[in-house]
Structure 1
Amino acid sequence: MEIILVSCNFQQTTGFQRFYSLSSMSCKKLFILSWDSCAWLFGPPHNTLLASFVSNMKSELSGFLGWLRPGHMHTSCILVVEDKGDMVDTETGSQEEDFLLQDEIYKSRLASIKREEDTFMRERDRYELEKGRLIREMKRIRDEDGSRFNNFQILNHRYALLNLLGKGGFSEVYKQAFDLVEHRFVACKLHGLNAQWSEDKKQSYIRHAIREYNIHKTLVHHHIVRLWDIFEIDQNTFCTVLDYCSGKDLDAVLKATPVLPEREARIIIVQIFQGLVYLNKRTQKIIHYDLKPGNVLFDDFGVAKVTDFGLSKIVEDDVGSQGMELTSQGAGTYWYLPPECFELSKTPLISSKVDVWSAGILLYQMLFGRRPFGHDQTQERILREDTIIKARKVEFPSRPAVSNEAKDFIRRCLTYNQGERPDVLTIAQDPYLTYSKK
């Protein structure tokens, strides 16, 4: 019997053949697989002579396997033992059992690797979120350093400015402040007019801000951010003072946790609708028109509050049931606006059904981690490709699992035909928005 080494890169096969020679082995074939420093023996199981061979060759094999250094061979090599003698009967059942055992070992290892991969992916996502948070914080600090109000000024002899909270459109800067009269924290919204603007643009901006203030100052509700004060700082700057909500806004929440449990998403949308119902039960109804994650804030106790009435519409008493004309077409955040707001052939008529559609988009996004229409598109592309006008039916992914009640509610909110879509006061009666003890 001879031991023959089969290896792509091994150059000393002949010498090894001469080194090992067996004559007493009653075995047709013996395979020895070397993987690094471990030897796997495949041959007739339960063979006494094979067992004796392995025992006798153990030390020599160890030396041989140690001799096979990296560079002499590929990852593995095969030794084949040939014998001219009679073949010993094998026990097929035991071979099959060994094969199944080895198969289970491989499957177990594969499952372990997949678990490790899942762990690495979660860690990567966590680090990406942390990276985003740190980038936003660096931007906030940079904006604060560049602000003309960064030296803790006291405005109107009453509001002590503290930390910069963020920047919005129209050169607005949000500052956490302390009300020295009422002894409470507030948010100061600083409106700065660009010195390069024309006089007409400045006057237009001032009219816009005053209009927002006149709407907002009358709103007093648990789920509406309260507007407390407004005053002029200088010729080009004025300030509005609002409730300070110490929690994140919904946009920040969804960036940290893109998919919320249905229970959490539901209680948030219920609070939003309570605020909308208040707006629609007033003598002068108000359409918010700009419901989006960034305009939903949370206070210390996690209470959701609707804010930013810069695009809101007052529904006059003489407006019919069909709604009022949309005079600010093109404004707003396109992912959250209904199809009627994109009607270009004529001036669209809108109603509180605009806010119903927007709320449906919000709930969908909280539950599935993405917007149902135009999620990966820019606003320009949405407008160019008529994405929302073509959004006749909402589709739901198979994961995560969401109740049929939630899906049905979203479908009602996202009814394409404005005439068939419920308004705020109607859909507020929906069972999905009501809590009862079961």
Structure 2
Amino acid sequence: RAKVVALEEDLRKSRQEASNHQNLCHQLEKELKDLKDCEKQIMQKRSKTISDLLMSVSKAERQEARMKIRQDSLRLGNVGVIRAGTIISETWEDGQVLKDLNAYLKQLLETKEAVERQRKSLKKRQSDKGDGADTESGVHEEDLLIQDEIYKSRLASLKREEEVILRERDRYELEKGRLIREMKRIRDEDGSRFNNFPILNSRYSLLNLLGKGGFSEVYKAYDLVEHRYVACKLHGLNAQWSEEKKQSYIRHAIREYNIHKTLVHHHIVRLWDIFEIDQNTFCTVLEYCSGRDLDAVLKATPVLPEKEAKIIIVQIFQGLVYLNKRAQKIIHYDLKPGNVLFDELGVAKVTDFGLSKIMEDDVGSQGMELTSQGAGTYWYLPPECFELNKTPLISSKVDVWSAGVLFYQMLFGRRPFGHDQTQERILREDTIIKARKVEFPSRPSVSNEAKDLIRRCLTYNQAERPDVLTIAQDPYLTYSKR
């Protein structure tokens, strides 16, 4: 009986301990839940504080940008409105600085013409004297020669002055171009429905608009989870589109995302996330590059020194080599200045895989069929993309041609084919189909090695043109010590 009592006592104690342990677990669970709730509140407060600070800074930046626009408009010009009956159109009116420079250039031209007329008259008098019409002394002949030197000196002085004014005007024209682009950006920002600093997907705090394309807007944003700046590309589907067209656009975007999300390379812009905003809008989240794109660089400095152009094209080819060493090779198909971005350190990164093609394993050596003829940017596409009598076969050689056009443009300030033509005219006149040989201007001076690389890239016959992995072995593109 004593043993039974002892066992019952032990059982009672065990139950008490189990109950105490259970109570302790409940208490710990409650404390852990309270801790998590507290941590969540702290995170929410921290995110709110960060987003409020970012919003405050962004508001100040917006105000400063608009103030600068007003100041620059006085110097450089503004958009005016012309009304012709019921038709209203916009026109650009130069500001006071450009008006003054153009007036001064006109005055220099008039002065130059006056001096040239006087010099021509003097030459006639010298000619008459040679014919015996002038019988004055030899001293007078010397006076005529001195007068001619005076006119020549004055013309040389006017030419120097004109060159200075032209350089100054060119500088102001570049400033005017930047002003017009900034005016457009601000107008797009003011008209955007995302301009009131929303937080998307409970994570991305939208700041200021970076730019707007056909169906998308790109905002600088801050990732409140990873604590880094990102670029949010907001894709808008036209409400008037049919359901079929909307689904096609979404399928295309998801395809781009599925290609892009697997790409991890320091010369390719990272794609971090994708999510839906509403029935007609979704967002892709990209690596933020704080520098300009190559298009903006070339608008500010149309001709780059060869060393600078070379290191940019080397980086582009490094990105292309990565795309072509994957198990499933990728053709970018839309290499152009606007799709090459720079980070704050000047590292070049290829972006926008909206038209890219995946090379399937069963594709032959000739390449894959081009099913999206007509897409792309025509100045940068090779002749095979314009074949109309059959479905073209394409490969990474498309990107080699595009890179050659980019390199040529950086070096010479113009595209090698159809530079001043519209896309419609390029198509109508078969400009690229006729682009059998690349010509090089005499200025600026460029190395023969650079020209040889461009010639290889712009080889007309696709079969003879090297692919990405072959052209990347070109000695010009390597920096190892020889």
How high is the TM-score relative to the length of structure 2?
0.71
Q: Cα distance 1:141–1:99, how it changes in 2: closer, same or farther (>3 A)? A: same
Once residues 185 and 167 of structure 2 are traced to their aligned partners in structure 1, the CA distance between those partners, rounded to angstroms, is 27
Deviation at 1:194, TM superposition (A): 0.9
CA deviation profile, 1:375-422 (whole Å, cap 9, x unmatched): 111111111111111110011111111111111110000000000000
In our comparison, the structure showing a higher alpha carbon Rg is 1
Q: Aligned runs of 1:125-136 on 2, under 5 Å?
A: 125-136=170-181
Structure 1 portions without partners, runs of 5+: 1-87
Q: Which residue of 2 aligns with 1:426?
A: 470
2 CA distance for matches of 1:213 and 1:96? 83
Instruction: State which of 419, 423, 428 in structure 2 corresponds to 1:379.
Output: 423
Secondary structure of the structure 2 residue equivalent to 1:311: coil
Instruction: Return the letter of the residue paired with 1:123.
Output: E
Equivalent residue in structure 2 for 1:245, among 283, 289, 298 = 289
Provide the residue aligned with 1:5 in structure 2. Answer: none
C-alpha separation in 2, matches of 1:398 and 1:198: 53
Find the aligned partners of 1:437 and 1:158 in 2 and give their Cα distance: 47
Which residue, out of 223, 230, 233, partners 1:179?
223
Count matched residues.
Answer: 348
Q: Does 1:116 pair with 2:116?
A: no
Correspondent of 1:166 among 197, 207, 211: 211
Give the match for residue 369 of structure 1: 413
From 192, 200, 204, the counterpart of 1:147? 192
What are the superposed Cα offsets for residues 250-278 of structure 1, whole Å, 9 maximum, x if unpaired?
11111111111111111110110000000
Specify every segment of 5 or more residues in structure 2 that has no aligned partner in the other structure, as ranges: 1-134
Please give the secondary structure, in 2, of the residue aligned with 1:279.
Answer: helix
Query: Deviation per CA, 1:332-360, whole angstroms, max 9, x where unpaired?
Result: 00110000001111110000000000000
Question: How do 1:266-277 residues align onto structure 2 when only pairs under 5 Å count?
Answer: 266-277=310-321
Deviation at 1:102, TM superposition (A): 3.5
Residue 372 of structure 2 aligns with an amino acid whose one-letter code is: S
Query: Residue 156 of structure 2 aligns to which amino acid in structure 1?
Result: A
Residue in structure 2 matching 1:280, options 324, 337, 342: 324
Task: Kindly provide the amino acid, as one letter, of the partner of residue 373 in structure 2.
Answer: Q
Q: 1:265 aligns with which of 289, 297, 309?
A: 309
Aligned to 1:53: none
**Structure 1 residue 436: Cα displacement:** 3.1
CA offset at residue 160 of structure 1? 0.5
Which of these residues, 152, 157, 167, is aligned with residue 107 of structure 1?
A: 152
Question: Which whole-Å CA distance do the structure 2 matches of 1:216 and 1:104 have between them?
Answer: 68
Q: Identify the residue that residue 72 of structure 1 maps to in structure 2.
A: none
- Which SS does the other structure have where 2:407 is aligned? helix
Which residue does the alignment assign to 1:336?
Answer: 380
Q: What is the alpha-carbon distance in structure 1 between the residues aligned to residue 464 and residue 448 of structure 2?
A: 21
Secondary structure of the residue aligned to 2:283 is: strand
Describe the SS at the equivalent of 2:217. Answer: strand
| 1:138 matched to 2:138 | no
3-state SS of the aligned residue for 1:231? strand
Say what the alpha-carbon RMSD is for the aligned residues.
1.4
**CA displacement, residues 33-82 of structure 1 (integer Å, 9 cap, x when unaligned):** xxxxxxxxxxxxxxxxxxxxxxxxxxxxxxxxxxxxxxxxxxxxxxxxxx
Distance (whole Å) between structure 1 residues aligned to residue 369 and residue 297 of structure 2: 34
Provide the C-alpha distance between the structure 2 equivalents of 1:95 and 1:405, rounded to a whole number of angstroms.
Answer: 59
Partners in 2 of 1:226 and 1:114 — Cα distance?
Answer: 51
Partner of 1:222: 266
Task: Give 2:264's aligned amino acid.
Answer: V
Amino acid at match of 1:173: E
Alpha-carbon offset, residue 108 of structure 1: 2.1
Partners of 2:437 and 2:300 in 1: how far apart? Answer: 29
The CA deviation at 1:432 is 1.2
Between the aligned partners of 2:417 and 2:371, the Cα distance in structure 1 is: 24
Residue 95 of structure 1 and its aligned partner are, at CA, apart by 5.3
TM-superposed deviation, 1:105: 2.8
Deviation at 1:89, TM superposition (A): 10
State the one-letter code of the partner of 1:163. N
Tell me the secondary structure at the aligned position of residue 187 of structure 1. strand
Residue 326 of structure 1 is matched in structure 2 by 370
Q: Which amino acid aligns with 1:403?
A: S
Q: Distance in 2 between matches of 1:162 and 1:205?
A: 26
Match of residue 35 from structure 1 = none
In structure 2, distance between residues paired with 1:108 and 1:247: 46
Deviation at 1:96, TM superposition (A): 5.4
SS of equivalent to 1:421: coil
**1:23-38 pair list within 5 angstroms:** none
SS of 2:318's equivalent in the other structure is helix
Q: Cα deviations across residues 143-176 of structure 1 (Å, max 9, x unaligned)? A: 111111111011111110001000112x200000
